[in-house]
Structure 1
Amino acid sequence: MSTAINQESHNTGTSSGQNPSSDPYNEQDLSSSISHSSLSPSPSTEDSIAQFDGQLQYEDRQGDITSKEEDNRSLQSDPIQDTNTSPKENNTSATHSHNNKSDNSGAFNPNDEDNALQRTGTRYFSPKLKKARKDVIYSFIFTNVVLAIFAFTIFSLFWGVNYKNFDRAHKVQILAVIQDEGITSPNISTIIPIAAAVPTIAESSMGTYHIYNSTGFMDKFKLQSNDEIDAKVIHEVYGEKYWFAINIKPNATQALYDAIAVPNAPSFNTSQYFEAVTITARDPTNYRQLILPLLQDFEARYSNYYTSTYFPQFLNNLTTFNNITTVNMTNIALAGTMNFYTNDIRSFTERVLIAPLLVGVAYCLLLTFFQFLIYSQLHQEVSALLKPNHILIYRNIMLWLTMFFASLFFCTVSAIFQIDFTPAFGRGGFVVYWMTTWLFMVACGGTNENMVSILFTLFGPRFLGIWILSFIILNITPTFYPMVMANVFYRYGYMMPVHNAIDIYRVIFLDLSKHKMGRNYGLLIAWIAMNAVALPLVFKFLLMVITRREKKEKELAAAAEEAKLKN
């Protein structure tokens, strides 16, 4: 290499006309310099190489030591590791694993830490799982105690509303109006009025009867004439003062007498003079099962009295004491049976109404719970960015707006299935239904937000299902069944949101009396106001709980650190 460079330098110098002796760089010196720099390291380079080799050897030794220490710690901390293995064997195995990993990093090695020290399952009664078994037993006992308390309280509440209903039948208020005053003709004697036994029969029948004659009824309700009695009886039942009414029309006894004693007189039809005024729409699911049996009990008792006692006695008195020798045998046969005419002033015939009036309301309540769960993550993120007052404003606005649209969606389902909204409010019925549902959902949604926030902070998510099921049962139990025949305890239902919402729905869809709507709306608004007032108090309480919890955790951590330092 030196020769080639010297030759090239000589040729270059000759061709350029320069004297080789005048080159400032001597060819021999240049060749020696290049050869020395290319083949022989300088003293500084040799020192650097030696230092680098020493560093590599030091790091390799440190890596071996570190690997051994990590392997030993891993073996000691693994609960599945065989306790009979000696530390020396563990260290040897770990060192061997490290060397193999360094030599064959891409190949599977059974001695590799990732392969040899993986956790494996063990038997349930292993001594190493003693603490885990205690946790399982504690959780099992605690869970079953909670379920027992829930079943014996909330479920018992639902079962109890139907327990021995007819033992409380005396709480059912019934109206009986006797307009018939018998036969007033002086030529006819010993003819007992057809309704004379009504008070006695009513006293032995189920229910509490309020019995009036024409004069007493007119005085009671300030009526001007007898013609107003029938309408007033219907009005009293429609106004929910009474569950049903027995209305015995005037001249019933006279019509029976004429049908038997007067030739060519029209036959006596008992259903024209004995009327039962009912209102099954007042409680669509329970009226027929709980209220109508009381009416049927009275009808059965009176019918038995009429056919077995009154009518035979009437015929005997007619022929024996009034010298009636000719009777209309055809009319006798027709008059020998007793039938009441049932005037159902508000009937329940549309089965599709069960959805918005009963089961659908429970689903609507459940919907208010789901919306909060959906928003929970968003609420946490936004609340971390806002001031306390703005958090309250944000939460209330989100609740009201969400319920506004959710109530619209819920009500639209009823419109899709062509439910009639016009019976009570005409074309505005849908708007009334929507706004009522909105208030109802805000009332329930606010309650759920407050309670779920408390339960989630104190106990986590495990009791949320128990809360929502309890809230549903507390609402529907005194609503789906008539409180009049339930224990007095169930009167708490008058203040519950579901009860008040369903009262309004029955007015909208069934055209019931509107006299309770003011109270119903007032209670729904009261629930909304109560939840709005409770929300900042709930936040304050939860902040106090979280602060105490964090303080306790810090104290425990400090105590643990102090104990560690002492050891």
Structure 2
Amino acid sequence: MAQKLWPPYWHYPRATEKPLPHGRAAAVPRRAFFRAALINFAILQLVFLSLFAYIFGSLYQQAGHTHNMKILFVDYDSDSNRESAIGSAVSAAYQELEGSTFPTIVKASTNEFPVPGNLETAVCGATYWAAIYTSPGASSRLQNALAVGGAVAESYNRSDVLTYIWNEARYSTTSDSAISANLQLLSNTARLAYTTAYVRSGLQTLNLTDEAAILVFSNPWQLTSVDIQTTTQGSRAVYNTLVIILILIQEFFYLGIINGLYAQFKIYARIPAHRIIIVRNINSLAYTLLGALCVAGMVWAFRAGWHVNGNQFALTWAILWLFAHANFLVLDIITIWVPPQFVPVCLINWIIFNVTSILLPFDLSPAFYRWAYAMPAHEVYQVLVDIWSGGCNPQLHYALPILFAWELIGLAFSTLGVYRRCHYAVIAEEAQDRAFNERLNVAMAFEKKRDEERRKELEVEMREKAGSESLTFESQQERDDRIQREEKEQEDVREDLTNVIRNENEQLQRERTRKASRVDFGPSFDLAYRSNAS
């Protein structure tokens, strides 16, 4: 038994029957093969090198662009003449931390933002990434707790001193590191600056005999977070990466199935173009509708306590549907107008450009990457953030028009593409019919020539046997009858030969399909460069 299983090529004996050609006869095809392989090797390496450079370039020196993120600061504890003690500590801390790797603090007066609610409106409107403020009377309460101690120090509220407002749903992982973590650092540095200034003042007002006062001095405040939409679930990490990638791939694979079915059943040559357009759009709308429902359902199924409601689910479903269908149409346009050998390259470029547009906020990427405002993935993510945070990312004025523009452009060129496919499908069918008729005419000409030769041979035999006029007349009559019979037989032969050739063609196609299904060669695309040698 072991001998039959090894070596493995014993299972495929025909593979070794015909040896590979050697010598000068095989030299030219071999050179052409390696030349084509080398050129395609280089093309693919350059394409993916460019894509890697593009995506890594968008992330390059991310921390160095943090200063582009603006944070609003209002000192509600100050009076009209000067900053409060806590406000001064925050300003001193910012002077120490200010740099390219720290967000820019924009100071504003209480006249511009009279109450903290105005700060939340500014953050909700995406004017600022966050806002930080000191509570009214915070410095006096702190001074009183340090000086009096006792019950006053024990009742002192550390959380009602310094507060920041932010929206975690807006690029949650980035906001955690660039906004929340840096504001915590600012608070800690300000606390140190405050205690240092207090020590320099000689600790004159500190009740050194009271333990509660000393505890307040060691920890004068705790930074309070007001998160517009808390987004801490683990699945948030893939909302702007894998979710978008899978939607794009999902549309591409279904588009491949649709195109394969249309080609297999010769739909383009058998059904009017306007009917194909209607059915194709209904089909794609239904597929993307169900696909968007599945994506939204998974987001909700794994939201892990995320505070979102049914209305937000419906809006998420709707915008994902629009995004999925727009991409289906764009990919359809690619498969229509781009040569087949370049379709995979266009697909991977489309995916990378879309995903890169939402990996980071544009504030953290080089300015060049802002061209990706035109990418549908960037727009759909802006709309999703707006939905999830209850309208606190008002980018709809440009996001929705861009998405609908992609949809309309896709519908227009996809519709034109159906006419293009129908046009060339009819041409291909006509060419196939002509080729079939040519083969049939050749076969019939051969049969006719053979019949003529047989007729001449029979005439010679009849003449040799003829002995009289009556016999000659009789032979002539028989010959006419025989010619009529042969013509009828020729028509029958033509019809039979037609059926035979058709059946043979169908059998060949079935045989090729059956053999191709047996052997899995994997995905196969035309080469970007093809040698003239065959």
Which TM-score tier does this pair reach, normalised by the shorter chain? 0.5 to 0.7
Q: Is the 8 A contact 2:69 2:103 kept in 1?
A: yes
Aligned residue number for residue 496 of structure 1: 375
1:484 to partner: Cα distance: 1.3
Determine what percentage of the aligned residue pairs are the same residue: 20
Aligned residue number for residue 444 of structure 1: 327
Are 1:247 and 2:145 an aligned pair? Answer: no
For residues 320-347 of structure 1, give each alpha carbon's deviation from its aligned partner in whole angstroms, at most 9, with x where no partner exists. xxxx998745313422335422333321
Listed as ranges, the gaps of 5+ residues in structure 2 are 1-15, 435-534
Aligned CA distance change for structure 1 residues 274 and 392 (closer, same or farther; 3 Å): same
Q: What SS is found at the alignment partner of 1:254?
A: helix
Letter in 2 for 1:311: Y
1:508 to partner: Cα distance: 4.0
1:159 to partner: Cα distance: 1.2
Letter in 2 for 1:279: N
For residues 174-209 of structure 1, give each alpha carbon's deviation from its aligned partner in whole angstroms, at most 9, with x where no partner exists. 11011112699xxxxx99733224335434522222
Are 1:120 and 2:18 an aligned pair? Answer: yes
Q: Distance in 2 between matches of 1:510 and 1:436?
A: 15
Q: Distance in 2 between matches of 1:122 and 1:131?
A: 14
Q: What SS is found at the alignment partner of 1:276?
A: strand
Are 1:312 and 2:209 an aligned pair? Answer: no
Q: Which deviates more from structure 2 when the two are superposed, residues 536-545 or residues 410-419?
A: 536-545
Q: Is the 8 A contact 1:353 1:419 kept in 2?
A: no
How many residue pairs get aligned? The number is 408
Aligned residue number for residue 217 of structure 2: 335
Letter in 2 for 1:332: I
1:364 to partner: Cα distance: 1.4
Q: Identify which of 368, 376, 382 aligns with 2:259.
A: 376
Q: What SS is found at the alignment partner of 2:270?
A: coil
TM-score w.r.t. length of structure 2? 0.67
Q: Distance in 2 between matches of 1:420 and 1:492?
A: 36
Q: Distance in 2 between matches of 1:191 and 1:372?
A: 63
Q: Is the 8 A contact 2:269 2:422 kept in 1?
A: no
Q: Distance in 2 between matches of 1:119 and 1:326?
A: 100
Alignment of 1:485-524 (within 5 A): 485-511=364-390, 513=392, 515-524=394-403
Q: Distance in 1 between matches of 2:30 and 2:241?
A: 46
Give the greater-gyration-radius structure (CA): 1
For residues 216-268 of structure 1, give each alpha carbon's deviation from its aligned partner in whole angstroms, at most 9, with x where no partner exists. x34xxxx4xxxxx1222222223322112221112122112212333646225
Q: Is the 8 A contact 2:87 2:134 kept in 1?
A: yes
Aligned residue number for residue 170 of structure 2: 282
Alignment of 1:376-395 (within 5 A): 376-380=259-263, 381-395=266-280
For residues 14-53 of structure 1, give each alpha carbon's deviation from its aligned partner in whole angstroms, at most 9, with x where no partner exists. xxxxxxxxxxxxxxxxxxxxxxxxxxxxxxxxxxxxxxxx
Aligned CA distance change for structure 1 residues 388 and 355 (closer, same or farther; 3 Å): same
Q: Distance in 2 between matches of 1:536 and 1:314?
A: 78
Q: Is the 8 A contact 2:126 2:393 kept in 1?
A: no
Letter in 2 for 1:258: N
Aligned residue number for residue 317 of structure 2: 434
Aligned CA distance change for structure 1 residues 357 and 507 (closer, same or farther; 3 Å): farther
Letter in 2 for 1:199: S
1:269 to partner: Cα distance: 5.1
For residues 364-385 of structure 1, give each alpha carbon's deviation from its aligned partner in whole angstroms, at most 9, with x where no partner exists. 1211111110011233321112
Aligned CA distance change for structure 1 residues 337 and 427 (closer, same or farther; 3 Å): closer
Aligned residue number for residue 208 of structure 1: 104
Aligned CA distance change for structure 1 residues 417 and 282 (closer, same or farther; 3 Å): closer
Aligned residue number for residue 43 of structure 1: none
Q: What SS is found at the alignment partner of 1:130?
A: helix
Alignment of 1:147-546 (within 5 A): 147-181=44-78, 193-203=85-95, 204-205=97-98, 206-215=102-111, 217-218=112-113, 223=114, 229-262=115-148, 264=150, 266-267=152-153, 268=156, 270-307=158-195, 309-316=196-203, 318=204, 328=210, 330-338=212-220, 339-354=222-237, 358-380=241-263, 381-414=266-299, 423=308, 426-455=309-338, 458=339, 460=340, 462-511=341-390, 513=392, 515-536=394-415, 538=417
For residues 123-161 of structure 1, give each alpha carbon's deviation from its aligned partner in whole angstroms, at most 9, with x where no partner exists. 6x6422212212222222222222222123222121112
Q: Distance in 1 between matches of 2:181 and 2:69?
A: 12
Letter in 2 for 1:181: S
Letter in 1 for 2:395: K
Q: Which deviates more from structure 2 when the two are superposed, residues 354-363 or residues 269-278?
A: 354-363
Q: Is the 8 A contact 1:507 1:514 kept in 2?
A: yes
Q: Distance in 2 between matches of 1:353 and 1:473?
A: 19
Letter in 2 for 1:209: I
1:539 to partner: Cα distance: 6.1
Q: Distance in 1 between matches of 2:173 and 2:262?
A: 41
Q: Distance in 1 between matches of 2:70 and 2:323?
A: 30
Q: Distance in 1 between matches of 2:87 and 2:207?
A: 25
Letter in 1 for 2:213: N
1:463 to partner: Cα distance: 3.4
Q: What SS is found at the alignment partner of 1:465?
A: helix
Q: Identify which of 40, 47, 58 aligns with 1:143.
A: 40
Aligned residue number for residue 522 of structure 2: none
Q: Which deviates more from structure 2 when the two are superposed, residues 190-199 or residues 405-414?
A: 190-199
Aligned CA distance change for structure 1 residues 404 and 526 (closer, same or farther; 3 Å): same
Q: Is the 8 A contact 2:59 2:365 kept in 1?
A: yes
RMSD: 3.7
Q: Distance in 1 between matches of 2:77 and 2:368?
A: 41
Q: What SS is found at the alignment partner of 1:277?
A: strand
Aligned CA distance change for structure 1 residues 200 and 546 (closer, same or farther; 3 Å): farther
Aligned residue number for residue 527 of structure 2: none
Aligned CA distance change for structure 1 residues 331 and 357 (closer, same or farther; 3 Å): same
Aligned CA distance change for structure 1 residues 274 and 491 (closer, same or farther; 3 Å): same
Q: Distance in 1 between matches of 2:424 and 2:142?
A: 81
Letter in 1 for 2:110: S
Q: Is the 8 A contact 2:72 2:131 kept in 1?
A: yes
TM-score w.r.t. length of structure 1? 0.63
Listed as ranges, the gaps of 5+ residues in structure 1 are 1-117, 185-189, 224-228, 555-567
Q: Which deviates more from structure 2 when the two are superposed, residues 245-254 or residues 505-514?
A: 505-514
Q: Distance in 2 between matches of 1:546 and 1:399?
A: 21
Q: Distance in 2 between matches of 1:178 and 1:535?
A: 57
Letter in 1 for 2:356: T
Q: RCO greater where, 1 or 2, for CA within 8 Å and sep 6 or more?
A: 2
Letter in 2 for 1:178: D
Q: Is the 8 A contact 2:129 2:179 kept in 1?
A: yes
Q: Distance in 1 between matches of 2:36 and 2:208?
A: 89
